[in-house]
Chains A and B, each alone.
Chain A
Amino acid sequence: MPVIVDPDKCNGCHNSKQPPCVRMCPGDLIVKDFQTNKAYLKYFEDCWDCLPCIKACPEEAIRFQLSYQMGFFSASLQPHIHRDRQNITWTLVDAHGHKEEFNIRTKVLEVALDERIEGEPTPDFSI
């Protein structure tokens, strides 16, 4: 599974109906389970490894790993977006535990915790 939501870190973005990871996935593959209040990659076999979900997660709760068939998952790569949103730091750990950091200029835009969906029917309170 290329990305995996860590249930210990995910807080479902509180009351968000559609947390950033759910909204940013270009394949509509991540859903929020409202029973557990946590997001998960429902259609893991359809993941493209593109990582908008990881970059948008405010809790940094999504782990990037290779599909096992691509090599052992002890290696890891995690992005961290700086507070100024002008830089992104990637922390790479190879299969031997050797750590390397890469700081790259960017311009990351704010991603809101939730968003109104165009065309969604407004709740009917008339009953």
Chain B
Amino acid sequence: MERPDQQSIQRITHDTDILIIGGGTSGCLAATEIKEKYPHLSVTIVEKAHVDRSGCLAAGMNAINAYLNPGETPESFVKYVRYDSCGLIREDLVQSMAELFEYSVKKVEGWGLPILCDESGNYAPRGRWNIKINGESLKPIIAKAARDSGAKIHNWVVVTDLLMSGERCAGAVGFSLRHNTFYTFRAKATIVATGGAAGLYKPNNAYDAQHKTWYSPFNNGAGYAMGIRAGAEMTSFEMRYVALRTKDAIAPTGTLALGVNAPLVNSKGERFMQTRYAHLGGDGAPTPYRAYGPIQEVKAGRGPCYLDTTHITDEQSRQLKMAYLDMYPSQVLYWAANDIDPARHPVEVQTTEPYIVGGHCQGGYWVDIDRQSTVPGLYAAGDVAGGAPFKFVSGCWAEGILAARHAGKEVQSMALPEVDHLQVETAYQRCFDPLFNHGKVKYGVKPYDMEVRMQKIMEEYAGGTSQNYEMNEERLQLARKYMDQLPGQFDQLVVADMHDLMRAHEVMDRVVVGQVLIEHLMARKETRWPSYQTRTDYPERDDLNWLKFVNTRRDRSSGKIEVLFRPYQQLVPGDRYHPGAKPHPKPN
């Protein structure tokens, strides 16, 4: 494709009842739900890759990790998630998604997803909240349902900004990666479902393995950034996700810990979770502690740490490999290349760089029970929505469905909001600036250069892996100072084609998200989620002052980030630091 210039860019305006930004697992379920409940409404999905294999599920999944197995209830789920998230969650959001686990899983099973069953025909559990699936093709199966529902799908369109009509969201603009087109999507309601943010911190590996990340490296936090720019309130970014993963392959460890009951051990063979963290639940301690524990072992000179699989049989080892082939094939190749057999060798683990992901932790849009953000007409679902951790795949489905139901109802008798011309022109200019800079800006900045600069700041001053994820006020002040320099350099970004234009927007979005993240990290003056959020100057949890949500809102005109606090509400009674009893299912 020739380098596009001002003259060669065509403009397309597309009007729709409901716009869905991001055709991942949440967006596709939202689309099918709207078309099912409100067939007369027009639905448009805008996706920066191809819906068939875009988003987190590109490689597949081997389990649904949020499901109510026999005997469990939405309340017992809330209790467990509250415990796992160190006593602070939006209980209303977590409960409402749990109420839809069965509905959404049955729906996707109906579209053809193979779910493993036991001899009596029940879903085969893998741990308390998990069921096993053969989900290698999970994403194409969902995408096909979205396509068949009648939703219009625009693949390879990168959304750069939301459109506003007064205080109401009125759609979005973006550009095509495949042809020189600027899109204006005008909508009565907009659902953001872009996923969370990877790539804010220095990656674990360099060169051609820099994207050997656990979270999708293509999830750059675009949905957060567009909402932040539009003045939407964000919550809990400070609960970053630091994942305990297999060494190098960075594959999920639930397959080992839950699949074959592999305990964490240090290099001395000691089950340190059982000894040092027994009071927190040992190997069943809340997820942040299962990352924190190994980090402390390595710090104390007792690393590396492992998930001890040496008790398993050869057949179980083979089953493990099959489970990984459905989700993380590189794990299997890594073992084969490095002479590792999980039946004979414990599997070494490490922690990843921090991510912002509302599906595992709770950083994201502050939403109400219908998944409406604080901007009217703008909904958020899936990893981009905050307050509801432990979503994983099925919770993202549930949220897409909840947003869809309410948005569908809301737009019934609504006219398309007006969008003024000037706003679209400003967004057009911002969209293509790095491209139009080509030949104009003499010594420009490449997107990759800015990305590395940003990752260096975040890594060293805002609690990256090399800093054991620790931070204090003084370091965060420096992080803020250096990150605040970057937006002033956006006009120096220069690219020559649409692919690199996408990269330019990805890094600009990441900078915006990083700036907000720093404000969250500075605001919470306690350590609630060790390793996710370790404040060396406030090392203890402080329920008296900090059992509340840290939220932020960026002023649309001044760009100033304001910190707000929102109260926590306990809806399900019980000890917030106890996982709740596991119910005994009645025998059939």
Closest to B181 in A: A119
- Please measure, in the bound complex, the distance between the C-alpha atom of A45 and the C-alpha atom of B199, giving whole angstroms: 14
Binary flags per residue of B463-480, CB closer than 8 Å to A gives 1, else 0 = 000000000000000000
- Asked whether A52 and B208 contact (CB < 8 A) given A75-B336, A107-B114, the answer is no
Please tell me if B538 contacts chain A, counting CB pairs below 8 Å: no
- Asked whether A105 and B114 contact (CB < 8 A) given A28-B49, A45-B208, A52-B53, the answer is yes
A residues 78-127 touching B (CB-CB < 8 Å)? 79, 88, 90, 92-95, 100, 102, 104-109, 111, 117-121
- Please measure, in the bound complex, the distance between the C-alpha atom of A111 and the C-alpha atom of B213, giving whole angstroms: 27
Please tell me if B156 contacts chain A, counting CB pairs below 8 Å: yes
A residues 13-57 touching B (CB-CB < 8 Å)? 18, 23-28, 43-52, 55-56
- Asked whether A75 and B208 contact (CB < 8 A) given A27-B49, A104-B136, A119-B176, the answer is no
**Which residues on B sit within 8 Å (CB–CB) of A105?**
114, 134
The secondary structure that dominates the A interface is loop
B residues 190-220 touching A (CB-CB < 8 Å)? 205-213, 216-218
Interface size class of A (residues with CB under 8 A): 35 or more
Cross-chain contact B154 with A118 (CB below 8 angstroms): yes
Task: Tally chain B residues at the interface, Cβ within 8 Å.
Answer: 62
**Which residues on B sit within 8 Å (CB–CB) of A111?**
52
Residue of B12, B59, B154, B337 near A71 (CB, 8 A) is: B337
Stretch among B274-282, B326-334, B351-359 lining the A interface: B326-334
Q: How near does chain B come to A118, taking the closest CB pair, in angstroms? A: 5
Q: How near does chain A come to B525, taking the closest CB pair, in angstroms? A: 37
**Which residues on A sit within 8 Å (CB–CB) of B207?**
45, 67, 69
- The CB with the most chain B CB atoms within 10 A, among A52, A75, A121, is that of A52
- Please measure, in the bound complex, the distance between the C-alpha atom of A50 and the C-alpha atom of B136, giving whole angstroms: 10
Q: How near does chain B come to A77, taking the closest CB pair, in angstroms? A: 4
Stretch among B28-36, B226-234, B317-325 lining the A interface: B317-325
- Please measure, in the bound complex, the distance between the C-alpha atom of A50 and the C-alpha atom of B251, giving whole angstroms: 11
Q: List 8 A-B contacts (CB under 8 A).
A: A46-B211, A48-B218, A49-B59, A51-B329, A52-B52, A66-B330, A71-B338, A118-B155
Q: Sorted from nearest, which 9 A-B pairs have the closest CB atoms?
A: A71-B337, A75-B337, A52-B53, A94-B336, A50-B59, A50-B58, A67-B209, A77-B333, A75-B336
User: A-side interface residues toward B, CB under 8 Å?
Assistant: 1-2, 18, 23-28, 43-52, 55-56, 64-77, 79, 88, 90, 92-95, 100, 102, 104-109, 111, 117-121
